[in-house]
Amino acid sequence: MTPEEFLGGLGNAKLLAIIRGSEAQAAVRTAVALVEEGFTHLEVSLNTVEAAGVITAIQAEVGAAAFIGAGTVLTRDDVARVAAAGAQFIVTPALAPSVAEAVRLDLPVLAGSFTPTEVYSAMDQGAAAIKLFPASLGGPRYLSALRDPFPDVPFVPVGGVDQGAAVDYLSRGALGVGVGSPLIGDAASGGDLAALRSRARQFLSAAGLQQ
């Protein structure tokens, strides 16, 4: 997947589901449920138990129905490991060595940044888009402030994004939003999948992707 394809797909999807859990099989079931409900972009955090295996297993379950990326990717070794597992894009929490390594391997990278200097540096290194993190510190108004000097930078706010914040960020020009615990809850650690499906439909509806 090229950076252009990644940006186009996430721009249409609007929602990036962030899966982080303490049970590998529960994380896989969570991903499958999300795809069945209509999510097409999923990130598996490397904090998830057996994360690389989870990425591979999700790919086997959902096939071409969704794009599966790896999150909390910090080192060059992390990039190599998740690329071998089949990750189609990389998400970082900061301007780590993983950014340049993902670019070198032609993997689209959503680079974690917060300040204007970090935003500029990430894009200069070849990031496809900026993961505005932790977005909750500045909120939607901070996104608007950043977009004034960086009108062409694709921003994806992550961190504390509930349904209301998702709508606000998207209305202020975010390419998409990353949603973690407000969506996933405890599902990826063995929790209630029915409740997850309900939350998934609510998020999709709030983003205008489902009636």
- Which residue in 14, 23, 43, 101 is the catalytic one? 43
Q: For the residues 91-111, what does the mean pLDDT come to?
A: 97
Does 160 map to a domain?
A: yes
The CATH number given to whatever domain includes residue 172 is 3.20.20.70
14 is catalytic: no
Q: Is residue 148 classed as helix, strand or coil in its secondary structure?
A: coil
Percent composition of the chain: helix, strand, coil (DSSP 3-state, to 5) = 50, 15, 35
Number of domains into which the chain is organized: 1
Other beta carbons within 10 Å of 48? 27
Does 70 map to a domain?
A: yes
The torsion region of residue 136 among left (phi > 0), alpha (psi -120 to 50) and beta comes to alpha
pLDDT of residue 208: 84
Give the integer Cα–Cα distance in Å for 52 and 167.
Answer: 32
Give the integer Cα–Cα distance in Å for 209 and 161.
Answer: 17
Does 211 map to a domain?
A: no
Does 154 map to a domain?
A: yes
118 is catalytic: no
Does 159 map to a domain?
A: yes
Q: For the residues 138-160, what does the mean pLDDT come to?
A: 97
Give the integer Cα–Cα distance in Å for 155 and 132.
Answer: 6
Does 171 map to a domain?
A: yes
Percent of the chain residues topping a pLDDT of 90: 96
Tell me the residue range of the domain where 35 lies. Answer: 3-206
pLDDT of residue 211: 46
Q: For the residues 54-69, what does the mean pLDDT come to?
A: 97
Does 9 map to a domain?
A: yes
Six-digit token pair at 152? 């062409």
Backbone Cα Rg of the chain: 16
Buried b (16+ CB within 10 A) or exposed e, 135-146: beebebebbbeb
Lookup result for tokens 């099989």? 25
pTM over the 0.85 mark: yes
Give the integer Cα–Cα distance in Å for 179 and 143.
Answer: 16
pLDDT of residue 210: 62
